[in-house]
Amino acid sequence: MLLNFTGKNVFITGGSRGIGRACAILFSKLKANVAITYKSNKVEAEKTLSMLDSDLMNVMYALDINDAASVENVFSNAVDQFKGIDVVVNNAGVFLEHKIDSISYEKWQQIWQETISTNLTGVSNLCYVAGQHMIKNGGGKIVNIGSRGAFRGEPDHPAYGASKAGLHAMSQSLAIALAPYNISIGVVAPGFVETDMTSAYLKSEKGNAIKKQSPLNRVATADEVANIVSVFAADGFEFMTGGIVDLNGASYLRT
Ligand code: NAP
């Protein structure tokens, strides 16, 4: 097996559903110990844990990524419990609609604030605490989930597109800053993925048009995103640091 995480400890935010759950299951299959976080969906987080290899160490934590103190506390609890974290997957995120032609100014500001705080500032805080730990530990891997929306535009979710563009830029800056410490940072930038985040869109009258954006006439699965995450996190792929991998079924090609 090319990818093997035996003895590695992986910390995944937003592990209660979707892409985070798929990452937890894949890392567990690849023999990693797995820590997941959830915001409020404890039952689904427990379900994720029940899908992991019970011979390994699997723990879940409640975490609102918007709360900077909790980010520090939860990550430091995981470090203590697992005796170190080797891989962090910044997956938790929100996708909130706010069409400029039909939303109130007050709601517009509220959604911008929540989106940037969750998808960018919260991730930067976890990068900070994880980076400090990994510097002391002699190295590590951070994988951030970005989005095609950063490149292609998000007309109904402009804060989301901006948050992911910021996330891509931050990840690249930190890849340079942390490389001397043997810490690599990768970004996966999916187009539409079949999860709770998008199920209403995919089931709506827009669903077929969304699938047709790709010549494969479908959207990605969460497992396909997890596959790329595991590559970024694996030993032997350190030179990919600073990279942003598109996973969009040729629905948006950039050069
Ligand atoms: P999802 O099914 O909606 O799941 C979101 C996860 O994030 C849940 O585990 C949720 O916890 C957690 N979460 C939400 N807000 C949080 C907060 N404030 N603090 C901590 N955790 C929070 O999402 P997904 O589709 O798997 O997306 C995962 C990532 O991929 C996101 O960053 C998203 O932007 C990105 N992405 C998704 C797509 C797509 O089409 N689905 C495309 C491109 C990029 P609870 O279950 O407790 O609520």
Residue in the block written with tokens 């079949």: 194
Q: What six digits make up the tokens of 187? A: 């970004």
What pLDDT shows up at residue 62?
98
For ligand 1, say whether the CB of 192 is within 6 Å of any of its atoms: yes
Q: What six digits make up the tokens of 207? A: 């669903």
Pairing of β 58-62 and β 183-190: unpaired
3-state secondary structure of 193: strand
pLDDT band at 255 (very low <50, low <70, confident <90, very high): confident
Question: Does 33 fall in a domain?
Answer: yes
For ligand 1, say whether the CB of 224 is within 6 Å of any of its atoms: no
What pLDDT shows up at residue 2?
77
Question: Does 91 fall in a domain?
Answer: yes
Span 144-158, average pLDDT? 98
What pLDDT shows up at residue 131?
98
Q: With 70 as the cut, is the pLDDT of residue 1 above it?
A: no
- Structural domains counted in the chain: 1
Span 96-108, average pLDDT? 98
For ligand 1, say whether the CB of 221 is within 6 Å of any of its atoms: no
pLDDT band at 20 (very low <50, low <70, confident <90, very high): very high
Question: Does 56 fall in a domain?
Answer: yes
pLDDT, averaged across the chain: 97
Span 201-226, average pLDDT? 96
pLDDT band at 63 (very low <50, low <70, confident <90, very high): very high
What distance in angstroms lies between residue 180's CA and the mean position of ligand 1's atoms? 31
Give the Cα separation of 162 and 151 in Å (integer).
Answer: 9
Span 201-212, average pLDDT? 94
- Nearest C-alpha neighbor of 199 from the set 167, 222, 229: 222
- Nearest C-alpha neighbor of 119 from the set 157, 65, 39, 68: 65
Question: Does 255 fall in a domain?
Answer: no
Question: Does 2 fall in a domain?
Answer: no
CA-nearest residue, atom 39 of ligand 1: 193
CA-nearest residue, atom 36 of ligand 1: 147
CB atoms within 10 A of CB 165: 18
CB atoms within 10 A of CB 44: 16
CATH number (domain holding residue 144): 3.40.50.720
Q: What six digits make up the tokens of 112? A: 């911008």
Span 229-241, average pLDDT? 97
Question: Does 45 fall in a domain?
Answer: yes
Span 239-244, average pLDDT? 98
Indicate if 160 belongs to the active site. Answer: yes
For ligand 1, say whether the CB of 48 is within 6 Å of any of its atoms: no
| Alpha carbon 169 to chain centroid, angstroms | 15
Q: Are 14 and 193 in contact (CB under 8 A)?
A: no
- Which tens digits make up the pLDDT trace of 69-90? 999 999 999 999 999 999 999 9
Q: Domain containing 189: what range?
A: 9-247
Own/partner pairs, 37-45, CB within 8 angstroms, 24+ separation: 37/11, 37/12, 37/13, 37/61, 37/62, 37/63, 37/65, 37/74, 37/92, 38/14, 38/62, 38/63, 39/14, 39/63, 39/64, 39/65, 39/92, 41/16, 41/17, 42/16, 44/16, 44/17, 45/15, 45/16
Q: With 70 as the cut, is the pLDDT of residue 201 above it?
A: yes
Indicate the pTM of the whole model.
0.98
Q: With 80 as the cut, is the pLDDT of residue 119 above it?
A: yes
3-state secondary structure of 229: helix
For ligand 1, say whether the CB of 95 is within 6 Å of any of its atoms: yes
Ligand 1 atom nearest residue 18's Cα: 26
pLDDT band at 108 (very low <50, low <70, confident <90, very high): very high
DSSP 8-class letter at 245: E
Give the Cα separation of 15 and 48 in Å (integer).
Answer: 7
Catalytic residue among 128, 160, 201, 252: 160
CB atoms within 10 A of CB 89: 30
